[in-house]
């Protein structure tokens, strides 16, 4: 291989939960800088795949490579800084009792290493300023002083993305970024993700149920079903495949 290593490479990963195969020999390569969507019905293994890439789950077999580095045995919190992985969860995970600004400040001090300071108060003040810049980009400034638990679901997800971005990630994992959002919020989030990605230097992986979002955003798709990778390719190619239509698109349209 020459030039840039791929952003993510998953090689023959097997993951069982209490005997159930969640990932069955999954292999996947995602080139650096791509905006890539993983789709598939519920229980296909999308979230587990994210968990394996981010370090939440350790695969029973196979290896995970991020930015050309084997991270299979690296703990989740180390992956954040070692290879620049950041992630947002399907149900946004935030610090509920802290203010929105404090949430982002926690991410800032985690990223710049000042979190270890247990005597000086100043780095926290600096972090607060940096946090405000991030909040401005995501238009969360009006709610910066509110406790995070008071936010709407859409704002929570935006806050989580803001926290992920101050980590300056090279790989951003977004699990269902528009789940539970109104059509307006969804449209704004699509623009937001496109905007972040188009700044360059960032690989984005997302899972999504909303096909409109997927076809608006993704350069490439991977379709998963029951722990397998069914196929990968351009959105137009994928759309034309009968097997995909059958296992996923057909059902999704039926359900919607």
Binding site for other proteins (CB under 8 A): 54-58, 60, 73, 75-78, 80-81, 86-87, 89, 93-99, 101-103, 105-107, 109-111, 114-121, 123-125, 127-128, 144-145, 147, 149, 163, 167
In terms of CB distance, is 120 or 256 closer to other proteins?
Answer: 120
User: Cβ of residue 50: shortest distance to other proteins, in angstroms?
Assistant: 11
In terms of CB distance, is 30 or 159 closer to other proteins?
Answer: 159
27 Cβ partners below 8 Å, 6+ apart? 10, 11, 12, 13, 62, 229
User: Cβ of residue 114: shortest distance to other proteins, in angstroms?
Assistant: 5
User: Cβ of residue 125: shortest distance to other proteins, in angstroms?
Assistant: 6
In terms of CB distance, is 18 or 256 closer to other proteins?
Answer: 18
User: Cβ of residue 96: shortest distance to other proteins, in angstroms?
Assistant: 5
CA atoms within 13 A on the CB side of 153: 12
SS3 percent helix, strand, coil of the chain, rounded to 5, is 45, 25, 35
Answer positive or negative: Cα dihedral of 226, 45, 177, 143: positive
User: Cβ of residue 192: shortest distance to other proteins, in angstroms?
Assistant: 20
CA atoms within 13 A on the CB side of 234: 3
In terms of CB distance, is 125 or 253 closer to other proteins?
Answer: 125
Helices (H), the chain: 46-54, 76-82, 100-112, 122-137, 153-165, 183-198, 211-217, 235-240, 242-244, 250-255
In terms of CB distance, is 168 or 194 closer to other proteins?
Answer: 168
Report how far residue 100's alpha carbon sits from residue 240's, in angstroms, rounded to the nearest whole number. Answer: 43
């Amino acid at each position: 291989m020459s030039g840039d290593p791929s952003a993510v490479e998953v090689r023959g990963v097997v993951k069982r939960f209490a005997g159930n195969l969640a990932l069955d020999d999954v292999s996947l390569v995602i080139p650096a800088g791509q905006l890539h969507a993983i789709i598939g019905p519920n229980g296909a293994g999308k979230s587990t795949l994210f968990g394996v890439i981010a370090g939440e789950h350790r695969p029973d077999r196979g290896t995970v490579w991020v930015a050309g580095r084997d991270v299979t045995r690296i703990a989740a919190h180390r992956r954040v800084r070692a290879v620049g992985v950041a992630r947002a969860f399907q149900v946004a995970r935030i610090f509920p009792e802290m203010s929105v600004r404090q949430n982002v400040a926690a991410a800032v001090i985690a990223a710049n290493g000042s979190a270890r300071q247990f005597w000086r108060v100043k780095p926290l003040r600096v972090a607060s300023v940096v946090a405000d810049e991030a909040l401005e980009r995501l238009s969360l400034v009006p709610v910066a002083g509110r406790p995070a638990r008071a936010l709407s679901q859409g704002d929570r997800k935006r806050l989580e993305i803001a926290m992920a971005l101050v980590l300056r990630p090279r790989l951003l994992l977004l699990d269902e970024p528009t789940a539970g959002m109104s059509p307006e919020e969804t449209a704004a989030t699509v623009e937001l993700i496109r905007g972040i990605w188009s700044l360059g230097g960032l690989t984005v992986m997302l899972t999504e149920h909303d096909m409109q979002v997927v076809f608006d955003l993704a350069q490439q798709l991977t379709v998963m079903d029951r722990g397998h990778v069914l196929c990968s390719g351009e959105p137009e190619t994928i759309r034309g495949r009968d097997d995909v239509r059958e296992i996923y698109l057909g059902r999704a349209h039926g359900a919607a």
